[in-house]
């Protein structure tokens, strides 16, 4: 189906975009990579009167590696993260995760920030943002604000972003030096959304877990950080029995949807398996037994 008619503007700066959104926000949709929005327009599940194309705004396409964090501009594409080459565990995680986000043409256009704004429960980037408690940066008529990922996701496809606001970037805290990362996903076909996915970031010191983050995608209607499983591992030797317990705990923290092709029990089982695999790979990479 063709999209319904809409007005179109392509502001040249963030203040210009914010001015348009201040005036017509509730009847508008921001267009970033368009890889989700255009589909919704074609299915006519979205019928905005105005599309605000932010692709011509300069300065939003950079990945900035700073002391304690990595800043991802609102127009950084999935493909940029797939080829991230800065020496950091986070870059390694970007490289592991990105190939699971759709197909190469979609990754060439779709944006990291757009994924967070879209808030699909199966989004890998949303799980990563949640695990690291990213800060989502917004500009709006009342000024700038940063929303922590823990308060950002309000439900499937629902976020704390107001209709008058523009996501301008996302700040991800950097894992500590020496952290190792692992990602695993279960999906039906190459390029389809995850039935379940897990990521682990881990630092081991003197044989014990000194820092850990576990993120889950499609484990609930919002991305999850498996805090109880993290607590189980903290300060302990990451041996196979404990890893299995933590994986089971992470799955218990999940509240997956019950769907005909992937019942909740099946998804929970998949999550436990994926977390266990990630923990095993991370511990192996950390060079501990």
Ligand X SMILES: Cc1cc2nc3c(=O)[nH]c(=O)nc-3n(C[C@H](O)[C@H](O)[C@H](O)COP(=O)(O)OP(=O)(O)OC[C@H]3O[C@@H](n4cnc5c(N)ncnc54)[C@H](O)[C@@H]3O)c2cc1C
Residue sitting closest to ligand X (CB): 110
Binding mask 197-216 for ligand X (x = CB under 6 A): --------------------
Contact call for residue 115 and ligand X (CB under 6 A): yes
Which of 94, 118, 153, 183 binds ligand X (CB under 6 A)? It is: 118
Rg of the chain over CA atoms, in angstroms? 19
CA distance 74 to 138: 10
What angle separates helix 89-97 from helix 124-132, to the nearest 10 degrees?
Answer: 160
- Do the Cβ atoms of 161 and 167 come closer than 8 Å? yes
Question: Cα-Cα-Cα-Cα dihedral of 74, 138, 225, 263, to 10°?
Answer: -70
Least separation, in Å, of the C-beta of 167 and ligand X? 4
Which of 76, 161, 275, 283 binds ligand X (CB under 6 A)? It is: 161
DSSP 8-state secondary structure symbol assigned to residue 234: T
CA distance 60 to 258: 38
Q: How distant, in Å, are the alpha carbons of 209, 224, 228, 262, 284 from that of 252?
A: 21, 12, 9, 17, 25
Restricted to residues 121-160, the positions that interact with ligand X (CB under 6 A) are 123-125
Least separation, in Å, of the C-beta of 17 and ligand X? 9
In this structure, what token pair is assigned to residue 115? 């994924």
Contact call for residue 167 and ligand X (CB under 6 A): yes
Query: Element (H or E) spanning 39, and its range?
Result: helix 37-43
Helices (H), 56-188: 78-82, 89-97, 104-109, 112-118, 124-132, 149-152
Least separation, in Å, of the C-beta of 86 and ligand X? 22
Contact call for residue 30 and ligand X (CB under 6 A): yes
In this structure, what token pair is assigned to residue 178? 């020496």
Contact call for residue 99 and ligand X (CB under 6 A): no
Which CB sits closer to ligand X, 185 or 253? Answer: 185
Least separation, in Å, of the C-beta of 287 and ligand X? 31
Which CB sits closer to ligand X, 94 or 212? Answer: 94
Which of 11, 25, 33, 175 binds ligand X (CB under 6 A)? It is: 33
Instruction: For residue 37, give the nearest of 114, 148, 137 by alpha carbon.
Output: 114
Contact call for residue 29 and ligand X (CB under 6 A): yes
DSSP 8-state secondary structure symbol assigned to residue 188: S
Stretch that binds ligand X, among 25-33, 172-180, 226-234, 280-288 (CB under 6 A): 25-33
Give the binding site for ligand X (CB under 6 A). 29-37, 39, 54, 74, 101-102, 106, 110-111, 113-115, 117-118, 120, 123-125, 161, 166-167, 191, 193
């Amino acid at each position: 189906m063709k999209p319904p008619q809409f007005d179109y503007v392509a502001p040249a700066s963030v203040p210009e975009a914010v001015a348009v959104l201040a005036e017509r926000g509730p009847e508008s949709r921001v267009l970033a990579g368009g890889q989700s929005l255009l589909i919704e327009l074609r299915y006519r599940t979205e019928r905005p009167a105005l599309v605000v194309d932010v692709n011509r705004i300069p300065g939003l396409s950079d990945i900035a590696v700073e002391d304690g964090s990595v800043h991802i501009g609102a127009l950084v594409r999935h493909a940029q993260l797939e080829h991230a080459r800065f020496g950091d565990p986070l870059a390694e995680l970007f490289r592991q995760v990105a190939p699971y986000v759709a197909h190469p043409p979609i990754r060439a256009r779709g944006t990291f920030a757009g994924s967070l704004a879209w808030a699909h429960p199966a989004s890998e980037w949303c799980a990563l943002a949640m695990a690291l408690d990213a800060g989502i940066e917004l500009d709006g008529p009342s000024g700038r604000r940063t929303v922590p990922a823990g308060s950002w996701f309000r439900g499937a496809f629902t976020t704390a972003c107001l209709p008058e606001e523009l996501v301008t970037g996302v700040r991800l805290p950097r894992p500590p030096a020496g952290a190792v990362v692992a990602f695993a996903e279960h999906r039906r076909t190459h390029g389809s959304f995850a039935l379940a996915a897990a990521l682990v970031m881990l630092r081991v010191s003197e044989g014990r877990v000194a820092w850990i983050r576990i993120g889950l995608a499609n484990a609930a209607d919002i991305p999850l950080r498996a805090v109880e499983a993290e607590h189980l591992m903290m300060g302990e030797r990451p041996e196979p029995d404990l890893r299995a317990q933590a994986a089971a705990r992470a799955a218990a923290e999940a509240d997956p949807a019950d769907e005909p092709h992937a019942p909740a029990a099946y998804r929970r089982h998949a999550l436990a398996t994926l977390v266990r695999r990630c923990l095993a790979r991370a511990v192996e990479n950390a060079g501990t037994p």
